[in-house]
Amino acid sequence: MSNNMRGIDTPVRQRRRRVFKEVANLAYTSTNLKDDMEALPYKIVDYEESDYLDNVYRDRAIVRERIRLAMGMSLRPENRDHPGHLTEGLEESNISEKYYEPPLMQVIPSACNACPINQYEVTDSCMGCLAHPCQAVCPKGAISFVKGRSVIDQDKCIKCGKCQSVCPYDAICHKERPCKAACGINAIETDSHNRAVINNEKCVSCGMCMVSCPFGAIADKSQIFQLIRAMQEGKKVIAQVAPAFVGQFGQNISPDKFKTALKKLGFAEVIETAIGADQGCLAEAEHYVNEVVTGHQSFALTSCCPSWSVMAKNLFPETIDKISNELTPMVATARVIKEKYPDALVVFVGPCASKKLEASRRTVRSDVDFVITFEELCGMFEAKNIDPAEIEAEDKMDDATSCGRGYGIAGGVANAIERCINEYYPGTEVHIEHAEGLADCRKILALAKAGKMNGCLIEGMACPGGCVAGAGTNMAIPYATGEVKKFKTMASKEIPDQE
C-alpha cells in the first residue's frame, strides 16, 4: 500500500520530533533526570487545551508513553491497578550502553483510534439514483434502499468492493485500518477493545505500520539517550551513515556539510555505510556466478534488508540456504571501523527501524553499538541547536563507489551486483528480480518456492521504494530517491575494485 502521508510535516511527525528533541535535551542538560522527565509531558503539552488532541489529559498520557519508548524503555502495562510512574525503570536506561529489547514496535493503546478494520460505507454523496447499480451487483443482497439512499448491511457484506466500483457518484468509501493495510505480513491484530495490537511472533519491525498510522499510535524504541550518554563519557563514537541520508535533512545540505555537522555534534569520525555495500556487491556477484549460474543453487536472495531476510526465514524456511551469507553493509562497515579504531563505539545512522532489530542480535552486538534513525538524529541536532544547512563544510564524504551508494533505493542492490558481474564476469547472463513491500516480497518468495525463479538473483526490500522509504526517514520518497541518484553520480568511482 502506498502511504500518501510520507514526507508531509503532519502534527504526528512534529510531535514525534519534539519528543526526540526533548529526550536528547534531557541527556544533554538535565541535572535531576527523574524530576525533569516527570515534568516533560507538561512542557510538551503545556496549555490548558491541547491543539493536538481534543483532550489534554489523553495527549499527555500518550506523550508519557512516547517519552518512555524514546528513552529505550517499554510501555507501562495498562492492565495493572496502577501502571507505575513515568520514570519506572529509569535507572536501566540512564546508561551509555543499552541493547534494544523486543518488542521494538509497540502500539500505544491510549493513542489508538480503534479504526474500522475493513468496511464499505455509503457516504452523503449518495444521490439515491434510480438505477442503484450497487444493489444490482451485490452478490449477497447486503444493500437495500432506505429513505431514498443505499444502505449496506455490515453483517451480510463480504467486502468484495463491487458496489464501490460501480457507483456513478463515487459515494461508497472503503474504510480500512491504515496500519493493517500497510503491514505486508498480517502482523496487526485486534484486542478486545477493537484497538490495534501487534503480533510480535509475526512482526519483522519494518515500521510501515508506524508511518501509516494517522493518529501516531505506533512507535518504536530509541537509543538516542544512551548514545548521548556514551559521548558525554568521552567515548570515541564513530558514525556510519546509510546511503539514503542524502536529502533527508533539508535542501542545500551537501554530504560534506552533513559530515561536518555530525562532527560538530560530537562524532569522532563519519564513514559511509556504502563501503560495506561495495564489499557485499562484489561478494554476491561472485556467489551468483559460481553458484547460481552453474546450477549448484537454484536462486539467490540478497540479505541487506533485515525485515526481508527475517520474513523469508520465518515464512519460507526452505529459502534459508538461498539467502546471502555476506555481511550486511551495516555489519561489514562496522567491522572495518572496529579494525581501524578498536577502542571506538559504532553508531549506524539510517532510515530503518529493522536495523535496530538486526543490531540487537547477539552476533552483531559486538560490531554495532547503537542504531538511530534520521528522524531521531534530527532531534539531536535540534537539541544542540545545530542546523546542518548553516554549517561550512570542512570535510569530504568520499568513501564509496556509485554501486554501494545505490543500495539506498529499490533495485539498487541488484543493479550494483549486476554491474559487478558485467565488469568482472563479462558474458554472464544475469536474471534480476526485485520486490518492494512485504506483500510483494511474499509473492516473489512463493514463486521462488514453486520453482519459477530459478537462475534469478532476487532483491527484497521491506519498504516500498527501498531504504529511502524506511520508517525513520524525513523526506518524501520521490525527492529522496532523486537525491540518492545524484549522490551516486558524485562518487569518484563507479564500481568497487576486486581485491
Q: Give the whole-angstrom CA distance, residue 171 versus residue 128.
A: 10
DSSP secondary structure letters along 400-453? S-HHHHGGGSTTHHHHHHHHHHHHHSTT---EEEEEESHHHHHHHHHHHHTTSS
The residue written with cell numbers 556514551 in the block is 230
Question: What nine digits make up the cell of 365?
Answer: 552486538
Q: Give the whole-angstrom CA distance, residue 243 versus residue 355.
A: 14
Residue 262: HSE in the Cβ half-sphere, 13 Å Cα cutoff: 28
CATH class label, 118-176:
alpha beta
Query: Which one, of 239, 59, 53, lies nearest residue 67 by Cα?
Result: 59
Q: Are 369 and 345 in contact (CB under 8 A)?
A: yes
Query: Which one, of 68, 120, 117, 61, lies nearest residue 93 by Cα?
Result: 68
The domains of the chain are located at 118-176, 234-489
Reading the chain (499 residues) residue by residue, the pLDDT tens digits are 446 788 899 999 999 999 999 999 999 999 999 999 999 999 999 877 777 777 888 899 999 999 999 999 988 776 555 557 888 888 888 877 877 878 899 999 999 999 999 999 999 999 999 999 999 999 999 999 999 899 999 999 999 999 999 999 999 999 999 999 999 999 999 999 999 999 999 999 999 999 999 999 999 999 999 999 999 999 999 999 999 999 999 888 999 999 999 999 999 999 999 999 999 999 999 999 999 999 999 999 998 999 999 999 999 999 999 998 889 999 999 999 999 999 999 999 999 999 998 998 888 888 999 999 999 999 999 999 999 999 999 999 999 999 999 999 999 999 999 999 999 999 999 999 999 999 999 999 999 999 999 999 999 999 999 999 999 999 999 999 999 999 999 999 999 998 6
